[in-house]
Amino acid sequence: MRTGGNLCRSLLATAAALMIVALSSAPAAIADPPAPAVPGDASAVPAGQNREPYTGPYVFAPPSFNPVNGSTVGVAKPIIVNFQRPIADRPMAQDAVRISSNPPVPGKFYWMSDTQLRWRPLDFWPAGATVDIDAGGTKSSFRIGQAQIATIDDTTKQMEIMRNGELIKTMPVSLGKPGYETPNGTYYVLEKFADIVMDSSTYGVPIDSAEGYRIKVQDAVRINNAGIFVHGAPWSVQDQGVRNVSHGCPNLSPADAQWFFDNFGSGDPVVVKNSVGIYDENDGAQDWQI
């Protein structure tokens, strides 16, 4: 379920995971998902990038990065720089962080807190890109995998999977019912749970109330930090593709949920459109709404 309009909040507090894999009353339409960026002239340096290594004075202690060095992630994955201590002079610290990619694509910095700076491309990363980070001399690199995008249309109640520009799969889905609508927006995979327990009492809704529940869910893929997961829901198979019955989470059949779990990983985008409301919660995963 959700608090303040977000489903499955209980997952945040009572996740009993057997396995964790890290890795807008009328409908308001949302724009189609960003397309993967088109590779530009390799000799040009687009806005937001800087290939020059940092050679200035010491500005901050060595930070940590997400994605981690050597990893492969999805096209919606932002770069997260975590500093060891609060940054008093943000412009100075930001100037010491250099982002470059091959192919080069434009992007932007934005701060999430005094200890966290992020960077993302203006559109999704191009498939196969390599990305380098130099944060005051601390370096890291990672790779972008396939351009894999899930788009959920509340008008059709279908999830379409595009891989490298080709439609490879369509799955019926049930989103949040009235009062629990799944907001429009661009989400991305944060982590995955093979098994997890949802318990409405963790956010103030008694289990024995009309909207209460405590249930084990399989193949749960977290796509924001406000309690929204794509997950298997055998109890709503007859509603999937027909009507919305969940408390906000996109429901799939067990087989489709397993496929999604097995094929989607960290940074792969999930776009919700033609639903109600906008995903604007400041939950630390709203990068594509910034």
| Catalytic-residue membership of 231 | yes
Q: Which of 77, 120, 231, 273 is catalytic?
A: 231
Alpha helices in 96-205 (DSSP H): none
Q: Strands, DSSP E only, in the chain?
A: 20-21, 64-66, 72-73, 79-82, 97-102, 107-113, 116-121, 130-135, 138-144, 148-153, 158-163, 166-172, 185-188, 191-199, 214-222, 229-232, 251-252, 269-273
Closest by CA position to 281, among listed 4, 77, 32: 4
Characterize the bridge pairing of strands 148-153 and 269-273: parallel
| Phi–psi pair at 150, nearest 5 degrees | -105, 125
Q: Tell me the C-alpha distance between 280 and 286, whole Å.
A: 7
Q: Which of 37, 131, 175, 249 is catalytic?
A: 249
| Catalytic-residue membership of 247 | no
Q: Tell me the C-alpha distance between 181 and 169, whole Å.
A: 24
Tokens 């594509």 belong to residue: 288
The set of catalytic residues is 231, 249
